[in-house]
Chain A
């Protein structure tokens, strides 16, 4: 069958075309979410207006402070970037890391434990120590899945799910009647030492007024810089180092990579270790920058799952991940405003997130483009399809495939 010739568009336009899938998926999700709202008796515009106010501080009608809303969005944004990277990197190697949540918990547990036990150390020593500790713990947590995948071919999706729950129950053990619990019945740990705390970007002062509110209410912290550096490191690692080349090669074709003399098992393990270190860092930053202790809210934390949506929506690129994390950070921050102002459960955000995932996974936009005349794209599959799509098939192959 002869392929229709598509006229070559200027690179800038073609690049914009690539945005059609993620943007279309988000719009489609909001449209379906709006339909759900309308059916259950809410005005979608009121709901989405409150979401935009809560997320970006625009168009607020209940007197929310725009600067505070943006600050809240950034606080949610920080761990989403770092865990988003932790999902996106293994994607490139054809690995699906559902374990960012467990790795994040491992990182926060390590950070809290070190920050509590060595709490008297000064900042220059303790802060690097807790962040490093978090990275090592996260790396080890993901490393289990990497080693099992590389040696016996155990599917990383299943092993990382199991590791998520092991981390969650271990956290419960630690802070519910366990060695880190502050007092019996509190379900939270001792606070970390001041030396382990990550500074807020604005001075923690009640007297200094910024945008009409005391500076101390803005919780934006130095983790913002860490997250942006993590995204940059991810891009550099992937596109400017030989390891990054190997990771992408393994994701494209294990057979060809092996013939090129690259050890596939080694690359799989290293990829998971690095991914885990990113997630662990996210957890450590969350403890050091926001919470300063382990609490029961970590039992129901979903950052590591949101990260999957962030990585997919961001098409696995650093810039995309930052933008997607900003969207989901805004949705989280906006959700609570929507609940307060419009009386609509903030769980609508989860529904929207799920709809976005469906839309991306099923490539609804691509199918719509196929049937709408004039929107037909070029024949090649979208460059943004996650390489993980075929990973399960590889997992089912005998482990010799990895030897």
Chain B
């Protein structure tokens, strides 16, 4: 009985839910990137690598230039550059997008550690000082609301940014002409092409946007949540984001709900000294839940019809 009781007690603390939202946002950004990319028809399992490379260049830029916003920009650029490799290989060269995604992830894991050796000589990147981290921002007045204030309005600046991006993504995808085009290109590229939509342009844009979002996530991870870069510091988060995207059935808010669930798991994991169960089962949870969703126990998870299919003009 005690573990259940311990968890219940933990669930009543605002601190836990504050951490839940932070971790959720870290997953949300790459998950939204995945939603945008896959809605346009390009499979993206490379969020892990894009986040990792962004985290590395974000930290490096912050250490060299002592400007966290510039560093975030560099991180986004790094994510976008790696994404454009995936885009060119997938769209122009019509490569297998899964192989390309794996290659991106391996490339990022290898290049970051290789560059640590080049840039820093030793296996240690060094730390970013507190003043050069992405700041926490407390909303005046709102942060005084009991419980909710601490959970929502005493957060890192990137949490607010991510929530705005969440709403934007939803609105753009489902309420604008551009969103209709993105979805058309992912479902029926031939029809979209006939209607005068530039299939390649939309897909390039979507994949590079996913890189930008992963870039923000990488910056948030390395110079927000943490203050340094360590090899493989994304630790599978890009893949959990992939799971969240599927869990949320390729919708922004669906993905957000999945991220909250997975974030809660991470927050409880961090407090595992309070509860007395092996934390490793909690870490397994996102993957097991996604398998349950994929098994169709919670409704079907159907990707966009032409997700992963390179578009060849004039075909069929």
Contact = CB atoms under 8 A, between A and B. Distances in A.
B98 interface: yes
Given A165-B287, A358-B89, A308 B99 contact: yes
29 contacts: A152-B294, A152-B295, A154-B294, A161-B242, A162-B287, A163-B287, A165-B283, A169-B281, A169-B284, A177-B278, A178-B278, A302-B106, A347-B113, A348-B110, A350-B111, A351-B107, A351-B114, A352-B110, A354-B106, A355-B103, A362-B100, A367-B93, A386-B96, A386-B99, A392-B43, A393-B309, A395-B303, A396-B304, A396-B307
Interface string A156-195: 0111011101100110110011100000000000000000
A263 interface: no
Contacts of A169: 280-281, 283-284, 287
Contacts of B303: 155, 395-396
Contacts of A392: 43, 97-98, 307-309
B291 interface: yes
A253 interface: no
Nearest to A300: B232
A385 B147 CA distance: 57
B102 interface: yes
A41 B107 contact: no
A165 B284 CA distance: 7
B280 A40 contact: no
Contacts of A173: 278, 280-281
A362 B89 contact: yes
B117 interface: yes
A343 B104 CA distance: 25
A364 interface: yes
Interface in A115-154: 144, 148, 152, 154
Nearest to B49: A354
A46 interface: no
B246 interface: yes
B291 A357 contact: no
Given A148-B294, A170-B284, A361-B89, A158 B242 contact: yes
B275 interface: no
A361 B102 CA distance: 11
B71 interface: no
B64 to A, nearest CB: 16
Contacts of A161: 45, 239, 242
A305 B95 contact: no
A305 B99 CA distance: 10
A344 interface: yes
Nearest to B280: A173
A162 B302 contact: no
B106 A172 contact: no
Interface residues on A, range: 35 or more
Contacts of A162: 243, 287-288, 290-291, 294
Nearest to A389: B96
Interface in A354-373: 354-355, 357-358, 360-364, 367
A345 B89 contact: no
A98 interface: yes
A353 B278 contact: no
B110 A351 contact: yes
Contact of A347 (B110, B236, B296): B110
B114 A158 contact: no
Interface string B111-126: 1111111100000000
A274 interface: no
B109 interface: yes
A312 B99 contact: yes
B81 interface: no
The CB with the most chain A CB atoms within 10 A, among B89, B116, B306, is that of B89
Interface string A72-96: 0000000000000000000000001
A154 B296 contact: yes
A388 B96 contact: yes
A284 interface: no
A98 B278 contact: no
Interface in B53-110: 85, 89, 93-100, 102-104, 106-107, 109-110
A268 interface: no
